[in-house]
Structure 1
Amino acid sequence: MADFQTSTHRSRWIFSPQELLEKREAANQRAAKSLEQFGVTRLEVHLDGSVSYVEPILDQKDNAERSLPKPLNCEEEQHMRIFYEQKIQEVCLAFKFPHKIQATAIMYFKRFYLQWSVMEHHPKHIMLTCIYASCKVEENHVSAEELGKGIQQDHQIILNNEMVVYQSLGFDLIVYAPYRSVEGFNEDMQEFCHARDEEQEKFKNFLQTANAEVDRIMLTDAPLLYPPGQLSLASLHRANEVHGVLDFERYLNILLSRQHSAYSTSQLFESLKSIDTLVGKLNIPTAKDMRHIDRKLKSCWDPSSQDENKKREKRSKHKSKRTASEMQGARA
């Protein structure tokens, strides 16, 4: 982590909460405006990374006669992002990728959607490309064909989106993940506690819990708000509440004095508390939760699907009424 202070990660990809809000609102509003103007939000992606709006599918007469689909709001976009960030974790686990690849892929995904709305680029496609790019950057190369085959997706989607992902990241591909520093802090804590051999199992469990906490932290906005060292300390602090391996405040006092840090212990604890609050508010949507949002997104990409959705809902309501009538008839 010695190079983090001079990295583009620190200088270009750590934001304030207000900055994140403004970037996401701007992307959402741009997509909503495209829907109003062109009747569709989907962007065509070219191999050189350039993008273009699809041909308008509705003229002014169509707009007057036919109601446009509703765009996703910012909260729905957030649910969509979190859902696919968790999918990144699931795919990386299935391929047995190291934590570093998972964290880098999620950071690429988060950064990409500071520039774009999920209505413009489908997160399923970008998710796969971020994993692929992460594998290449972290020198754990997996071919697009192998990755696509492993999760039953067309590998060409991965390749088609590769350049637009790199460009959206400003080619800032080096990511500092919290997992490595969690391991370093864990070893340092063992020395701090003068851990005996019989206590190794306790610290092993402590580390596993801390890594699980990092997994949850990575699904929040914390990686865009705080440096990785603070993310790792926040995960260890949460793990310590479970295992109670040391006096955490005393450890932080000694750590900060040893590093001649500009932070005070109280300031650092405030940051850890803020990260903890973000984790506490984390709500990971289920596939069932996503159905309504998926339908809205599909309508934004292909407004003709809105008519199909309405027909499906109408058939469903008709079926429910018919079933209720049949039940009442059976009782009679």
Structure 2
Amino acid sequence: MFPTSTQKKYWMFADENDLTHLREKTNAAFIEKYGGNMTAEQKEQYFLSDIEERTLLKFYELQLRDFCKRFSPPMPRATIATALHYFKRFYLRNSVMNYHPKEILVTCVYLSSKVEEFNVSISQFVANLKGDREKASDIVLNNELLLMQQLNYNLTVHNPFRPVEGLMIDIKTRYSSLDNPERLRPHIDDFLEKVFLTDSVLLYAPSQIALAAILHAASKISANLDNYVTDILFSREHLAGIIEAVRKIRSMAKSIDIPNKEVVKALEKKLDKCRNQENNPDSEIYKKRMQEMLDEDDLHDNEKYAKLIQDQAANDEKILGVNRIHSTSSAI
């Protein structure tokens, strides 16, 4: 249940100012760590600002959504929603200059597929990607543990789809004034798709988002659900807070910014220069680190194998010793 979930405890924030402050802190920490002896002006020219990071992330959220919509076999909407949750959570405390969004994006989708039980193998998964699929497979698998760690292993996500179904059943059962509630469906789906491109999922409960989607859909078909909300769904003392939350959610979904392509291209060029090369699969530093890790694993495996042989030899010696005693006893 959402009220006792890790999502509510660790991944819900009071307001947009909390999120802005956290993103600014993440950006500043990266620049402080890798800025060296640069002046403030040099840092500004070389590194991405928190606003520039946010612009890139908005672009890659759209890329994530579009990748999932093109996926074969068709991907369930809960899998897409959970992947977007993971992506948003990851970049609250990680800079795009440390981990490139295009690499974390596919890892979020792959992990979400597992958690939401959309069963696809890694080979099926990378078949949906362009370019070097073997390299893509390595990137996804190498980043999977990192992603889980940065999510604090809080992998269960409560999405608004079930609350929507609950409200639809309730409307059909207790509010006969609305003719054919199924007319709301297309507008609900359209609204929820937009909501996942906003910070609403980090600020409001799934049930609040679900109600906002239904009220938005009702307005689109010129239906009035005010009496349902005020007389049936909520008591008067809770009404003011609910109405304000719904208003803000609808406002956020209405004002989605689509990043300018030229701006994004310029930011990606800047990112290519200032990103942490230790986490860049195309850099020599990264390749060397991966090779060292493989060598360490091989060394560890060799040591384990040598110890296994040694233990087996010692065990064989014991068995031979026991057999000699038995042979001597028999001879006597």
Say whether residues 1:159 and 2:133 are aligned partners: no
Given the alignment, which residue of 7, 10, 31 partners 1:9?
A: 7
What is residue 53 of structure 2 aligned with on the other side?
Answer: 77
Q: What is the match of residue 216 of structure 1?
A: 194
Does 1:194 find its partner at 2:179? no
- The AA in structure 2 aligned to 1:191 is T
Which residue does 1:29 correspond to in 2?
Answer: 28
Output the amino acid matched with 2:190. Answer: A
Match of 1:290 among 258, 264, 268: 264
- Note the residue ranges of structure 2 that are not aligned, 5 or more in a row: 278-332
Q: Is the 8 A contact 2:215 2:225 kept in 1?
A: no
Counting aligned pairs with the same residue, the percent is 31
Displacement of 1:142: 1.6
Deviations 1:61-92 (CA, angstroms, capped at 9, x unpaired): xx79xx67521112211111121112221122
Query: Out of 215, 231, 249, which is 1:275 matched to?
Result: 249
Q: 1:243 to 1:225 in 2, by over 3 A?
A: same
CA distance in 2, matches of 1:161, 1:263: 47
Distance 1:81 1:263, change over 3 A: farther
Does the aligned pair in 1 maintain the 2:113–2:120 contact within 8 Å? Answer: yes
Q: CA deviation at 1:263?
A: 5.7
Count the aligned residue pairs. 267
Aligned 8 A contact 2:99 2:276 in 1: no
Distance in 1 between the 2:227 and 2:243 partners? 8
**Where has structure 1 moved over 4 Å in runs of 4 or more?**
none
CA RMSD of superposed structures (Å): 2.3
Letter in 1 for 2:142: N
Is the 1:101–1:134 Cα contact (8 Å) retained in structure 2?
A: yes
- Which amino acid letter does the alignment assign opposite residue 167 of structure 2? F
Which residue in the other structure is 1:316 paired with?
Answer: none
Does residue 87 in structure 1 map to residue 63 in structure 2? yes
- 1:126 matched to which residue of 2? 104
Matched to 2:214, the amino acid is L
Whether the 8 Å CA contact 2:90–2:151 is kept in 1: the answer is yes
Give the unaligned 5+ runs of structure 1: 38-59, 304-332
Question: What is the TM-score when the length of structure 2 is the normalising length?
Answer: 0.74
Q: Equivalent residue of 1:15, what SS?
A: coil
Aligned-pair distance for 1:192? 3.3
Q: Using a 3 Å threshold, how does the CA distance of structure 1 residues 290 and 88 change in structure 2: closer, same or farther?
A: same
**In the superposition, relative to structure 1, how do residues 185 and 89 fare at CA in structure 2: closer, same or farther (>3 Å)?**
same
2:97 touches 2:276 (CA, 8 Å); kept in 1?
A: no
Of stretches 286-295 and 20-29 in structure 1, the one that deviates more from structure 2 is 286-295
Q: d(CA) in 1 for partners of 2:200 and 2:35?
A: 33
- Compare 21-30 and 102-111 and name the one that shifted more: 21-30
Is the contact made by 1:182 and 1:211 (CA closer than 8 Å) also made in structure 2?
no
Pick the structure with greater CA Rg: 2
What secondary structure, in the 3-state scheme, does the structure 2 residue paired with 1:150 have? Answer: coil
Query: CA distance change for structure 1 residues 287 and 187 in 2, over 3 Å: closer, same or farther?
Result: farther
